[in-house]
Amino acid sequence: MEIASPSKTELYLNAFSKNIQVDGVIKTFDDEYWVANIVPILYPLWDSDKDKLEVFVKYKDGTSKMNKTKYSRNQKTGVYSWVSYQFNLEPFTTEVDDLCTRLLEKFNEYRVGQENDLERQLAGQFASSAILNWNKISMIRNFLLMDSDWTQLGDAPITDADKAKWVTYRQKLRDIPQDQGSIAANMVVFPVTPSKHTAMNDGKDYLSDDTDHYYRMNQVVYSKFADRITNYLAIAISTAAIDEMPVSRVYKPATGDKSLDEILTMIEEGGI
């Protein structure tokens, strides 16, 4: 059975992978939750020892499909094997509706619970790892670049001269790893924004003063990024893709008592 795109699929269940997709958002369930909450919904009507559920799809047009695999005997050879087939759902309209309702309830329950647990875990890791390092410098630099993206739009409400300053500002941010990568993270300096420079009104050209036009990411400034870093990590850890569309997929990082810094490194190296 062809897997439909999220734009056409209301609910998609893969029993082998233990995941459910709802409106483009997919969750992979841990074994404990799957056995305790999903198996009772599937067994014995949809899934059994010798007639296993593979995939169930409920489409947004109201139709449904189900693939199962059955342990059956080949009449010619006498050999038993698992054979995949499409299960006829027409006689089970009420049961299919009930299946969808119950799966959706468990999907939402798992999604809320796991994402809240992840946020709490990341918040705790962040609180116990308040030391500035280069992983965090890179994230903050990216935040600052994102916050100034609007200045580069064609209809940005700024003058050409101001836009040129923002271009300089953004390039200075991009150059931080190259220009300052050999120094300690807590010694890195960031350029003030053109807006801040205008407010200073010091009569000096933008970024011409190495003291007044740059600042260090001290703990007071850094603490302002705490929630943003935590939220970013939650998204970064839980993001996957289906049919080239971003969807959310919750993982439980096996970090034990490792610090936020190591979680960042895991993300950076593709380990999560």
- pLDDT recorded at residue 1: 44
Which of 136, 83, 159 shows the shortest CA–CA distance to 260? 136
Each residue's pLDDT tens digit, 26-40: 888 888 889 999 999
Distance CA 90, CA 109 (A): 29
Each residue's pLDDT tens digit, 66-105: 999 988 888 888 887 888 899 999 999 999 999 999 999 9
pTM metric for this prediction: 0.46
Each residue's pLDDT tens digit, 231-258: 666 655 554 444 444 444 444 444 444 4
- Whole-angstrom CA distances from 168 to 77, 145, 195 are 76, 12, 13
A 10 A CB-CB count for 268 gives 13
